[in-house]
Structure 1
Amino acid sequence: MPTSDNELVTAAEACRLLGISTATLYAYVSRGLLGSRPGPDHRSRVYLRADVDRLAQRKRAGRGAARGAAQSLDRGLPVLETRISLIRPDSPYYRGQSAVAAVRAGATLEDIARLLWDCGEQDPFAAPFASAWPQRVQDVAGDASLPPIERALACIPLLALDVRQAFNPALPVRREIAATLLRHNAALLVARAPDARPVHELLGDAWRPGDADFAELVRAALVLCADHELNVSAFAARVVASTGAHLHATVCAGLSALSGPRHGGATMRAYALLRDALDSGDPAGFIASRWQRGEDLPGFGHVLYPHGDPRGAEVLRMLRERRGDAPAMAHVETVIAAAEEASGQHPNIDGLLAALCFVHDLPAAPALVLFAAGRSAGWLAHAQEQQALGTLIRPRARYTGLPPGGADEEAG
């Protein structure tokens, strides 16, 4: 019988489904493999049936090599090697350097792009840069009524037509193309003309002109979002890059993957949580009630950071320093405290991008723009690394449907 994603089960039922003891169940919770929430009597704990089923499936998959491979694309076994980024509890690391430390050292997105692209002494951002859009994209590129991702997706393929060396394999050439593309993507996301300034200044002026503290927060968010190992959008970019496609196509692949509600849409849902909690009149009660009903808390928790997302923690630290006295920040703190009390979960980067916008009286869309503008550096790094390997990403499928001939042949 199909189950609801919000169906809750007791500890005894979770142990039965997983084939484990109560002690092992508690160990799974402490290691972040399974989440729990208060039961009806507030003394017992209950578990989401969907999470228990997912963990049981992964346990079964681990018992056989073929099944393990089949599950490896769901945050499971490694499927590709990379020198670009590494996820550790304290920070993502870009080619061995802490992203959190880079934020505190004042790094810009351009600095991180040079690092991720392994530029060495080359500065691809020093190449000549045109400050106007080609005629064929002018109208769409400047149309602020269009959604940001769709505007970028409409223009980037057309911009590729003017890149004369799009398929040149020389690394210096490809890095210069990537640098221009990173700037173009950022400008398209905010419907501005191409700009050679650092991306955080372009975005900061688009939303809050003259606010230096806000621009610093934008800089930090871009750096922290620049890459995150083999996430969905980076994998999509690598798959496209493995075909030999030009870099513009790989960024379009990343943007397309980011447009889904389970990837880039997380910032929108996190923003809605903050707004709904405010509108409820009782933010702490709203959060606790939502969790007890078996609903998730968008913007909180991360499967790869069971003890807290260091990217979110860094943005929160900076928000507290710069906007700690703002009434909107007090609301954010209330929601964070209530979520941690109810669920034990800490805010992740999606939640803090949403909070950054909420505290500065911006709508939800800029949170996604920050993610897309920053992550483009990582997409371009993965695309260049994949094309340097010269291999095609083409996994095999394990067929589980009817055999040829359908039911008649199966009966025979």
Structure 2
Amino acid sequence: MTLMTNHAPAPDPNRRLTTKEAAELLGVKPETVYAYVSRGQLGSRRGQGGRGSTFDAQEVESLARRHRRERQPARSGGDLAVRTRITLIEQDRYYFRGVDATELATRYSYEEVAEWLWTGVLRPGVRFTAPDASVSAARRAVRALPEISGPADRLRVAAAAAATADPLRFDLSERAVLGTARTLIPTLVAALPPVSRSHRDEGSLARRLWARLTGRPVDEAALRVLDTALTLLIDHDLAASTVAVRVAASAHAHAYAVVSTGLGVLEGPLHGAASGLAHRMLLEVLDQGSAAPVVADELRAGRRVPGLGHPLYPGEDPRAQALFALLEQVPEAAPALAAARDVVATTARHVPLHANVDLALAVLTASTGMPAAAGETVFAVARTAGWIAHALEEYTEPPLRIRPSGLYTGPRPPQPLPSAADAPE
């Protein structure tokens, strides 16, 4: 993407600009101008005769000046300060585009919030559906995996298979990427083998996912917790997987590859898989009837107690607060909820740590007959929407901008060529 220079002539403030003129002044493609409109950065009006859009010249020039300030040449070490308009975390709260994320999650569905996060438009009742070709390709690939394959394995393979069914995947325009997002997420869910034989692939994404996580009949109160968890986990600023996603998008990888990148990082035990450790711990607490011996074993082994503490929240994780409040309305969750509170209280005698979202997610999975890996699945499906949002942002930035410099610590040259005589016998 080319940028306007500081010597570009300012437009006549007394007339409105066409889309082409606005794009030239901003140094972007016309579709990016409409992306700025959808995100509230620019206002637009229909042109005379209802053809095309027009833009206030002074507003466009103001945005162009701001972009020129923000896009100063990067330091020699690369641009590591990634500007984003998606998530803000401060004072034990977090916000999606300035709106309290926990309030969004308790009021709107996962699909509604994802759509709003991408486009700035709230579409009540929106449902994401997947084309048959995409689902068939993904299911065939997943069925070929060994039975011991984990959730991230299945989702990553499903994403790659779905990409092969989309010959237009290299179109990185906002419209095309949004179309991919709306079909890829339900494809990932549909590709997972159902646990319940009586499942039906209809209704909300959370309802379709439920049948892939547990064989129990749908409990509406627990289903609401699942949907809220999906929404709460959509994004969380620049987590490890999101940084990887932005690097991939900066290289103009297509949306399927971007999501595959995020899934690869998510598989680490310190990121998306953390709730599985908390799930197993809760089952052990329930089995022993007390958190004390379980917590003692964790501390004795020098391990962190799963599901406690978060570096971004000195107090309690707001995502955990929201889920615990909903779990109180699920009678079947009462034992696991009590076990989680016992863990928090027992650990607090030694270290003042609060519950995080992994512990709340573990209460949901442990109380609904889901396996320990279910939390990882929920996390991965949920975060896919956030990865898409970050990719959409990154596609409008100069490509390959996220490139830190390596600090070489090896032997200084010149060094002699290696030889076979140097090999140990």
Would you call these one fold, judging by a TM-score over 0.5? yes
Instruction: Give TM-score scaled by structure 2 length.
Output: 0.70
- Equivalent-residue separation in structure 2 for 1:194 and 1:390 (angstroms): 44
TM-aligned CA deviation for residue 376 of structure 1: 0.6
The 3 A distance-change label for structure 1 pair 129 and 331 is closer
Aligned to 1:291: 299
Q: Give the partner amino acid of 2:105.
A: V
Aligned to 2:104: 102
Alignment pair present for 1:375 and 2:378: no
Structure of larger gyration radius: 2
Q: Any unmatched runs of 5+ in structure 1?
A: 1-68, 408-412
The 3 A distance-change label for structure 1 pair 327 and 224 is same
SS at match of 1:405: coil
- Equivalent-residue separation in structure 2 for 1:128 and 1:365 (angstroms): 25
Alignment pair present for 1:237 and 2:238: no
- Equivalent-residue separation in structure 2 for 1:118 and 1:138 (angstroms): 29
SS at match of 2:95: strand
The 3 A distance-change label for structure 1 pair 108 and 293 is same
Q: Give the partner amino acid of 1:340.
A: A
Q: Please give the per-residue CA displacement for 1:77-100, whole angstroms capped at 9, x wherever unaligned.
A: 962110111112343211111111
Asked if structure 2 preserves the Cα contact closer than 8 Å seen for 1:225 and 1:375, the reply is: yes
TM-aligned CA deviation for residue 302 of structure 1: 0.4
- Equivalent-residue separation in structure 2 for 1:317 and 1:139 (angstroms): 40
Which region of structure 1 is more displaced relative to structure 2, 142-151 or 212-221?
142-151
Alignment pair present for 1:328 and 2:331: no
Alignment pair present for 1:277 and 2:285: yes
Alignment pair present for 1:227 and 2:235: yes
TM-aligned CA deviation for residue 355 of structure 1: 1.6
Which region of structure 1 is more displaced relative to structure 2, 205-214 or 303-312?
205-214
Aligned to 1:39: none
Asked if structure 2 preserves the Cα contact closer than 8 Å seen for 1:291 and 1:343, the reply is: no
- Equivalent-residue separation in structure 2 for 1:170 and 1:184 (angstroms): 21
Q: Give the partner amino acid of 1:220.
A: T
TM-aligned CA deviation for residue 154 of structure 1: 1.6
Alignment pair present for 1:204 and 2:206: no
SS at match of 1:87: strand
Q: Give the partner amino acid of 1:184.
A: T
TM-aligned CA deviation for residue 255 of structure 1: 0.6
Q: Please give the per-residue CA displacement for 1:114-145, whole angstroms capped at 9, x wherever unaligned.
A: 12212537899678742565554433345794
Equivalent positions of 1:109-148 (< 5 A) are 109-120=110-121, 129-131=130-132, 133=134, 135-141=136-142, 145=147, 146-148=149-151
Aligned to 1:82: 84
Which residue among 180, 185, 192 is the counterpart of 1:177? 180
- Equivalent-residue separation in structure 2 for 1:123 and 1:327 (angstroms): 35
Q: Give the total of aligned pairs.
A: 335
Which residue among 367, 371, 375 is the counterpart of 1:363? 371
Asked if structure 1 preserves the Cα contact closer than 8 Å seen for 2:275 and 2:375, the reply is: yes
- Equivalent-residue separation in structure 2 for 1:95 and 1:338 (angstroms): 37
Aligned to 1:165: 168
Question: Identity of paired residues, percent?
Answer: 32
Asked if structure 2 preserves the Cα contact closer than 8 Å seen for 1:224 and 1:311, the reply is: yes
Aligned to 2:94: 92
Q: Please give the per-residue CA displacement for 1:356-393, whole angstroms capped at 9, x wherever unaligned.
A: 11122322111111111111110111111111213212
Which residue among 361, 380, 397 is the counterpart of 1:389? 397
SS at match of 1:326: helix
Asked if structure 2 preserves the Cα contact closer than 8 Å seen for 1:299 and 1:347, the reply is: yes
Q: Give the partner amino acid of 2:157.
A: A
Aligned to 1:341: 349
SS at match of 1:342: coil
SS at match of 1:117: helix
Equivalent positions of 1:33-72 (< 5 A) are none
The 3 A distance-change label for structure 1 pair 134 and 357 is closer
Q: Give the partner amino acid of 2:360.
A: L
TM-aligned CA deviation for residue 277 of structure 1: 3.2
- Equivalent-residue separation in structure 1 for 2:133 and 2:172 (angstroms): 27
Q: Please give the per-residue CA displacement for 1:25-75, whole angstroms capped at 9, x wherever unaligned.
A: xxxxxxxxxxxxxxxxxxxxxxxxxxxxxxxxxxxxxxxxxxxx99x9xxx
- Equivalent-residue separation in structure 2 for 1:138 and 1:279 (angstroms): 37
Root-mean-square deviation (Å): 3.2
Asked if structure 1 preserves the Cα contact closer than 8 Å seen for 2:308 and 2:359, the reply is: yes
TM-aligned CA deviation for residue 317 of structure 1: 1.4
Q: Give the partner amino acid of 1:233.
A: S
- Equivalent-residue separation in structure 1 for 2:380 and 2:141 (angstroms): 18
Q: Any unmatched runs of 5+ in structure 2?
A: 1-75, 417-425
Q: Give the partner amino acid of 1:130.
A: P
Q: Give the partner amino acid of 2:341.
A: E
- Equivalent-residue separation in structure 2 for 1:203 and 1:375 (angstroms): 14
Aligned to 1:151: 154
